[in-house]
Amino acid sequence: MKRAYRVIWAAAAYDDLLGIIEYIARDSPANAGKVLKTIKNRAATLHLSPQRGRLVPELQEQGIAQYRELVIAPWRLIYRIADDSVLVLSVLDGRRNVEDLLLARLTTGTLYVLA
């Protein structure tokens, strides 16, 4: 039987998600609901196979290899595995240059569970 991990969202990642949904809802509340469900469902699947996400290329180039990502086009869900938890740290627009943002944000964050 596979080991189950607890998926925990950092406050910054939760705020990212809310910002994405609020932005989409301005034009299409129905689409915003679909995007929210898609991102939450994909994140929840990390509880059984967190290693499946790729290493974050921008960080790996800097010698930082503990962060992984799931691409949920056009967004990138950034996380790391810690003991029996998967810590979701950020949800970013993959169309932007995110290297500086990632380096600054992945060192802090208050954690809580996204229900």
Report residues of the chain scoring pLDDT below 70.
Answer: 1, 97, 99-115
Residue 114 falls inside a structural domain: no
CATH number at residue 63: 3.30.2310.20
Which residues on neighbouring strands pair with residue 111, listed in sequence order? 10
- Give the list of residues 6+ apart from residue 4 with CB closer than 8 angstroms, or none: 47, 48
In a domain, 54, yes or no: yes
- Residue 115 domain-assigned? no
Q: What is the pLDDT of residue 60?
A: 86
Instruction: Give domain status of residue 92, yes or no.
Output: yes
DSSP 82-98: ETTEEEEEEEEETTS--
- Percentage of the residues of the chain whose pLDDT score is greater than 90: 65
pLDDT in tens, 6-21: 999 999 899 999 999 9
Structure confidence at residue 68 (pLDDT)? 95
Number of structural domains the chain divides into: 1
Q: pTM score, two decimals?
A: 0.84
**Residue numbers of the domain that contains 78:** 6-107
